[in-house]
Chain A
């Protein structure tokens, strides 16, 4: 298990981040320092740039057509703060950045292979662990996401036979297996029913001491339940960064959000 991280230290410094696709600006001049105090939840109306913001942190935006971006993002990765957009950096290749900044998508996107292979394939390709180490890691992460008991007897079955909630936990396990430092979750419960969502939320609360989690959420209830800080986005900008005491009172939060939107 990873040691508990230093609390309240800045782990992400963003300067003048601007992102556009096909000339249409999606994120404009974001300046922000995020510190390590629990799960950071991004909320805001659709089209406000939440997902794009998330994808800036692992440079996944570059895979979308028409992308152009500027600005600077520094992330605290093992060692020190590192400029993740410096593509000429020899210290941090984009593949290594994405291993350290794992991402789980809105709809579970398991590989159409066996449950075990979903975790084994990335381990084999990215970490180069041997077979024994891979098997140990597989069990470790499936236990970490509380999936082990449900799948231990059918690891060779196709992952598509799992329920939506199980698939999403498998996706999370697949990312955790690569030992990331930061977890990006893009509305991870959007396609799940209430019970499965609740389960993922519990899991995230459990994992927040071991990983820095940044999640997009469509539900205020969920944001309040799991967040240590809430980032409110509107029209490509960060409108507010709310601390825990500011959103604990639902009425106050609702009033604040009504003012913003």
Chain B
């Protein structure tokens, strides 16, 4: 009986893993089949000459380039805003917070994690309305506002993964610092954080993905279809997920729908590139810690 159960669990694990691979594989190949033929100069730059378009000397219409730049800026800005706050909060919760206070804080972070992204977008929109009616009549939705709302959205991922990575270190490992006469701050920054680096990195990667694909937040906070390249922090911008959304919703010709697949493929590659950079950054930091402290 026991052997049968073991065999059953073994088979089920295999089928489940295979299923995941199959679904991801199918999805990717469908996306590749539909999107790959559309990838080319025209998808990115339309009728505009490529080099001039890249440097913003010529305006690009009905093509991807401004949305690529928009999404890149948006994700970088949101990550820059969220990572320091998220990781610091995670450190505080794992290493410094008094027990009772920790419970309250964790509940608040869970609440934030459970907030739907459209609500974050509404919050940003309402905030701008408030500013317009009070101190800044000229305030408008913009790249900075969208990035700030996205930062709020990804904050819980960063906090949770940092906290979990730090708390999963063994008690013996935690005591190395104090037993050698390190202060608490030294223990956290020189012993615990580097060891938790891999876990924290996975949080950063997860939040990059989340920030890159979210459409609901940016729809209410500054994205528009034909903004061109982002004109600074307070300007409007284009973004890849929003472009996919409106191409898929309002396409006029089959070619336009195909270009939505192409756009999805580009978004996937862009996110992959950001993952790669996060990984490379982590490797560099790890090497530095390893050799020089």
Contacts and interface: CB of A to CB of B under 8 A. Distances in A.
Contacts of B289: 113, 117
Contacts of A126: 180-182
A233 interface: no
Contacts of A121: 190, 293
A175 interface: yes
B6 to A, nearest CB: 32
B58 interface: no
Interface in A67-95: 95
A120 B293 contact: yes
A98 B186 contact: no
Contact of A103 (B174, B179, B186): B179
Nearest to A180: B181
A178 B173 contact: no
Contact of A117 (B174, B176, B180, B291): B291
Interface string B196-213: 000000000000000000
A124 B183 contact: no
A250 interface: no
Contact of B174 (A63, A97, A120, A125): A63
A96 B176 contact: no
A6 interface: no
B195 interface: yes
Which size bracket describes the interface of A in this complex?
A: 20 to 34
A96 B290 contact: no
B181 A96 contact: yes
A98 B180 CA distance: 6
B175 A95 contact: no
B137 to A, nearest CB: 53
Given A105-B172, A107-B172, A158-B290, A122 B195 contact: no
Nearest to A122: B180
B8 interface: no
Contact of B172 (A97, A102, A109): A109
A117 B293 contact: yes
Contacts of B48: none
26 contacts: A60-B175, A63-B174, A63-B178, A95-B182, A96-B181, A98-B179, A98-B180, A98-B181, A99-B180, A102-B179, A102-B180, A103-B179, A105-B179, A107-B172, A109-B175, A113-B293, A117-B289, A117-B292, A121-B293, A122-B181, A122-B182, A125-B182, A125-B186, A126-B180, A156-B291, A175-B180
6 interchain residue pairs of minimum CB distance: A99-B181, A98-B181, A121-B293, A103-B179, A95-B181, A122-B180
Given A96-B181, A99-B180, A124-B293, 6 more contacts: A97-B181, A98-B179, A109-B175, A117-B290, A125-B190, A178-B181
Interface of A: 58, 60, 63, 95-99, 102-103, 105-107, 109, 111-114, 117, 120-122, 124-126, 156, 158, 174-175, 178
